[in-house]
């Protein structure tokens, strides 16, 4: 089975004539259509809002597109807060969900009026000391522990995750926060990553809704919102069935009406915090085959490397690859598709069956719109690539330039060596 790229070889010829490979390319139409579908899927909930996980794709052009559909920003660091503020987000436009958080980051979030989501019960005192008070609106991250299962399949292991409070800590935290002046509360949980099933969100919702009912009853806290976080995944492999966000929204609605409405909590707002689902399928890494090697295996060397897309090297993650212009040719050649880093795990694919690859062929590596560019780094002194937007009308524009050696050496500009490098 194959995945169809959202770009043609002819378009790549035109783009690459102006912006050399490698680069990340994003599909404006796909992002817009998806943001609209997410908004519609949860429109039944009056207070619903998607807070796009900035860490997934911190590009202001793409975030601005999603803002046009009512999305806020989910931030986890100082620089993500700074970016969101620069884009006009403030107050309840921002959810600040972080862990092992420095005091200055809580201070910056509080200055913006962001909704702060506490990862641990000890962070209550830490936050109070950092900013001098407890905000009237506050959220807590919940981790029920154990294994998270759907049917008999283990989806993930929350008990092994560093995030969130235990059930006992969550109830105690609400009591402490209420005593310290908090008036409006939220609950947040992330129990499984990249789920490709319509059942995940409704099952997570049931867990959180039932806890919320008990929390209101036992602590008297006014629960204003429940954040289902992320975890709604995408089909990286071509034989996977994609999630149906409208079916997911309907599944959550049923649980909402079963659990919250009878408990008199039918006004609770729902938030989501998706990154991968919002942009993942609508980005690709475009690279060019520049070397071939015939030793104990057949290798194709690209001008991109793990600096541009870390997931395969880091997780052994699968990303589908299309050899552009050869979509209809038989996949009768077995290759390792590699980058040029001095690391043997710098491989986009291992033993992948593809059409015969010739030097100069474009390889489109699919589903890099989330945790693609964002996870890049500079090992071996490699420079991060440009980001390009393929617009709805077929035109294109650069939305982030490629790094240059001056960017790489910028933090040495206070030393004499900096000027010697560029003599």
What letter does residue 347 receive in the DSSP assignment? E
Count of beta carbons in the 10 Å neighbourhood of residue 359:
11
Cα dihedral 366/241/310/353 (nearest 10):
-60
Q: Indicate the helix (H) or strand (E) that contains 248.
A: helix 245-255
Q: End-to-end distance of the chain based on CA atoms, in angstroms?
A: 53
Distance CA 332, CA 242 (A): 27
Report residue 115: phi and psi, to 5°: -75, 120
Q: Indicate the helix (H) or strand (E) that contains 150.
A: strand 148-150
Distance CA 237, CA 260 (A): 36
**Per-residue b/e over 39-53, b at no fewer than 16 CB within 10 Å?**
bebbeebeebbbbbb
Distance CA 408, CA 307 (A): 13
What single string gives the DSSP state of each residue in 382-393?
Answer: ----EEEEE-TT
**Per-residue b/e over 177-213, b at no fewer than 16 CB within 10 Å?**
bbeeebeebbbbbbbbebbebbbbbbbbbbbbbebbb
Cα dihedral 128/133/136/138 (nearest 10):
-10
Residue 257's contacts (CB-CB under 8 Å, 6 or more residues apart) are none
Half-sphere exposure of 206 (CA within 13 A, CB side): 11
Half-sphere exposure of 407 (CA within 13 A, CB side): 11
List, by residue number, the catalytic residues: 342
Distance CA 2, CA 4 (A): 6
What letter does residue 261 receive in the DSSP assignment? G
Q: What distance lies between CA 395 and its chain's CA centroid?
A: 26
Cα dihedral 391/394/395/399 (nearest 10):
30
């Amino acid at each position: 089975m194959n995945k169809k790229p959202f770009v043609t070889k002819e378009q790549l010829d035109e783009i690459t004539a102006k912006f050399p490979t490698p680069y990340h390319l994003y599909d404006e139409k796909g992002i817009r259509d998806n943001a609209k579908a997410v908004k519609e899927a949860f429109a039944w909930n009056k207070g619903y809002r998607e807070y796009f996980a900035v860490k997934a794709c911190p590009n202001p052009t793409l975030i601005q597109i999603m803002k046009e559909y009512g999305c806020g920003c989910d931030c986890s660091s100082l620089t993500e807060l700074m970016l969101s503020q620069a884009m006009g987000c403030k107050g309840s436009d921002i959810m600040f969900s972080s862990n092992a958080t420095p005091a200055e980051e809580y201070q910056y979030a509080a200055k913006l009026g962001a909704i702060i989501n506490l990862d641990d019960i000890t962070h209550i005192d830490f936050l109070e000391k950092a900013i001098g008070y407890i905000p009237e609106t506050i959220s807590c991250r919940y981790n029920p522990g154990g294994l998270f299962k759907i049917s008999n399949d283990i989806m993930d292991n929350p008990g092994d995750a560093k995030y969130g409070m235990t059930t006992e800590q969550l109830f105690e935290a609400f009591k402490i926060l209420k005593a310290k002046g908090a008036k409006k509360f939220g609950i947040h949980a992330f129990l499984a990553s990249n789920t490709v099933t319509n059942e995940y969100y409704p099952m997570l919702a049931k867990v959180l809704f039932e806890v919320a009912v008990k929390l209101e009853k036992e602590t008297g806290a006014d629960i204003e919102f429940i954040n289902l976080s992320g975890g709604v995944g995408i089909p990286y492999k071509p034989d996977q069935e994609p999630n149906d966000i409208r079916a997911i929204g309907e599944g959550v609605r049923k649980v909402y009406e079963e659990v919250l409405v009878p408990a008199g909590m039918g006004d609770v707002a729902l938030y989501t915090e998706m990154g991968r689902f919002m942009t993942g399928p609508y980005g690709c890494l475009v690279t060019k085959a520049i070397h071939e090697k015939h030793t104990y295996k057949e290798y194709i060397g690209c001008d991109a490397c793990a600096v541009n897309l870390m997931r395969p090297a880091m997780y052994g993650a699968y990303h589908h690859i299309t050899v552009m212009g050869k979509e209809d040719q038989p996949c009768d050649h077995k290759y390792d598709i590699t980058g040029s880093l001095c690391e043997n795990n710098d491989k986009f694919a291992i033993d992948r069956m593809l059409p015969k690859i010739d030097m100069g062929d474009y390889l489109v590596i699919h589903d890099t719109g989330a945790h693609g560019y964002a996870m890049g780094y500079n090992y071996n002194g490699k420079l991060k690539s440009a980001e390009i937007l393929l617009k709805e009308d077929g035109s294109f524009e650069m939305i982030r330039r490629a790094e240059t050696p001056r960017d790489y050496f910028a933090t040495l500009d206070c030393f004499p060596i900096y000027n010697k490098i560029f003599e």
